[in-house]
Structure 1
């Protein structure tokens, strides 16, 4: 319509332009005489500025309601928040009013009560820079997804890595991944590595397990499990570099296992991933471990046959 008008205004024959644009003459001249009204977004329904009295059906201005609110908070209702003030207005002044409006009026009067702070049952320990001088001082744990083609469903791999010797000390593969599954995996890993699972005495270091802020790791179950067994710390949001070792392992796993295999069934995925982790621990060379596998390096460290290394984490 717009381009047809432009061509006609420039002197082109109206009949030819309208025929080319597939617009009838009656439609063109009707729209020319009656242009569509532009709709202006007003940002929602306007504020009426009053509420009704339920008993008399008379309008009560917002300024009057503000006066009611000021009187209420000065009297016996001074400890009430906006929700209970709403009930007081309904009962004492017979107003038809909702809590959203009362909240708005209280905000305009600056009489909103301060919100209570939500107390965490388990205080959050943020990851901090540490110096690692041996195995079983710092583990990193994370979850990775995989895909099964037959069922068209994902599976979960939760794994823990020792940042000193790069060993995958424990892993869990399942169709679901709740916190109890991860804590059971960590318990087995700590028993296998003979990690002391008790409160550290003064001057004694404990195993630190670092994770992100996934729901499994912030759950009450995981916090209760970690309380007396190890120190659990969480990385700040959007800082995967603080969990770099487990992120690096999952990147290698993606490239060397996931991309080279199509997991037909869930059992096939479990067998393939388990086989790869076994290869990773026992036979895959690491340049940062003097071209040893994690198992070889751990054995050499236990036999005091490697130079001591200090890692800054």
Structure 2
């Protein structure tokens, strides 16, 4: 495929920022879409352009996709940037605007970060929204590459009491300047190291198919311009399942102290979701 410019949407996020830097290291010309003047990707160098754009502004999207061959998008609504954004506006009308602009501009490939299928996904707005995006891309004239990534271990383990796993990346999800993030981590962030406790949503025998943001970024960057990646859905991670009890054992070996799980029942998480929904919708976006 063409070695033309790649537009990255969600470029200042945890995954998107890493994709941008990986592509720049390969010598790819990259354009990143940002919502505010002066926003930049920390440590990114090379043939890099910034363009102002917003998923809710079709005119800005048409400008952003001009002379672009490939789009890579990891934009999501887990923690929307801006009070006017919502899960529906990003995953429904926002992506509709972006894909329509890409079709009009003759974009060749659209690489999209998505999520694995789950029997309860229709009850979680972000998961349901990702499935809508997949359907829209598959009906598009653009060749799509959909990468379904499971839970990010460098996000969920940090939120479960292992703040030492946050890493130095300034674009990390758990470093975003939101009150919910700060309050939650101030309470639970050092549970593992200080108290030997790991929060276990659903119980110690529940868990996930975890993956690191770095691995997903490398997969997304690796599919850019790759003929064999066109019109494919790639299941990233698994099928191995690791339980919270097994995570606790691995952390115990790492920090050389006993670590036990503290189960968080699903009903308790549901109550918490209902309580925070009116005041912090993004915090209630994904039910644990």
- Return the TM-score normalized by structure 1: 0.24
Q: Which has the larger radius of gyration?
A: 1
Whose RCO is larger (CA < 8 A, sep 6+)?
A: 2
- Return the TM-score normalized by structure 2: 0.26
